[in-house]
Amino acid sequence: MKNREDIALEFNEFSKNYTSDMIRCVPHYMEMVESFVNFLPEEFKPNSILDLGCGNGNITAQIVLSFPKATYTLLDASKDMIDLCRKQFQAFDIKYANTYFNDFQFQKDHYDLIVAGFSLHHCDNDERQELFKKIYSSLKDGGIFSYSDLMISKNNPEHPGLLQEWGNFVNSNFPDGEKWAWVMEHYKNYDNPTDFTVQLKWLKNAGFTKIELPFKDGYWIYLQAVK
């Protein structure tokens, strides 16, 4: 893994063609993005929302359609990603935090909803466990933490099979193989996915009791945890 300062630079570069690359490189990407709204309980009406690793804003773009009056905080280490969000969300009540997760001051009992789309696998294991605790503390009672990610550790015996299937998907969209080579380089340098069972233990340690997987296809998972 490269050091964390490089993540911001990597995503400044990635921001240029971000959504179309994600759709063609991440199986079920749009389905999981839409899950952030489709699987919220009907009676759940968040007023205060935090998007961790917001990227170019694809998760928030779904949520604002349903909750246009809510207050949002969008956090990302990449300045270029934050700039894309600033352009897109001018009509909404949004604060921006161009910072790393570790450097953000999480307010206690503050948010109704905290979301993280495909961003937590960039943390190392200790950072993610600490982050789950901060997220739990920062949610109001009854608040929801939801995130999507690839949930398999690189040392899981099933991991080579996952790479084979994932590579077939990417190569079917980019037949010259160059994009898959780029994905694997990024994956080696910046990604630290973790088995779902391990994350479940960390979530429970942080205090979450009601944890559901509204979307799951293999190791591509969208998860909801209630405080």
Ligand X SMILES: C[S@@+](CC[C@H](N)C(=O)[O-])C[C@H]1O[C@@H](n2cnc3c(N)ncnc32)[C@H](O)[C@@H]1O
Q: Which residues bind ligand X (CB under 6 A)?
A: 4, 7-8, 11, 22, 53-55, 58-59, 76-78, 81, 100-101, 117-119, 122-123
Instruction: Render 56-111 in DSSP notation, one character per residue.
Output: TSHHHHHHHHH-TTSEEEEE-S-HHHHHHHHHHTTTSEEEEE-S-GGG--PPTT-E
Question: Residue 125 or residue 175: which is nearer to ligand X going by CB?
Answer: 125
CB of 157 to ligand X, least distance (A): 26
CB of 220 to ligand X, least distance (A): 12
Question: Residue 7 or residue 203: which is nearer to ligand X going by CB?
Answer: 7
Helix axes 178-190, 159-173, angle to 10 degrees: 140
Structure tokens at 139: 């949610």
CB of 141 to ligand X, least distance (A): 26
User: Residue 155, SS3?
Assistant: coil
Please tell me the distance from the alpha carbon of residue 188 to that of residue 182, in angstroms, as a whole number: 10
CB of 119 to ligand X, least distance (A): 4
Report the b/e string of 65-90 with b at 16+ CB within 10 A: eebeebbbbbbbbbebbbbbbeebbe
Question: Residue 74 or residue 139: which is nearer to ligand X going by CB?
Answer: 74
CB of 187 to ligand X, least distance (A): 11
User: Residue 34, SS3?
Assistant: helix
Which residues are CB-neighbours of 105 under 8 A, at least 6 positions away? none
Please tell me the distance from the alpha carbon of residue 72 to that of residue 118, in angstroms, as a whole number: 18
Do residues 112 and 123 make contact, with C-beta atoms less than 8 angstroms apart? no
CB of 144 to ligand X, least distance (A): 16
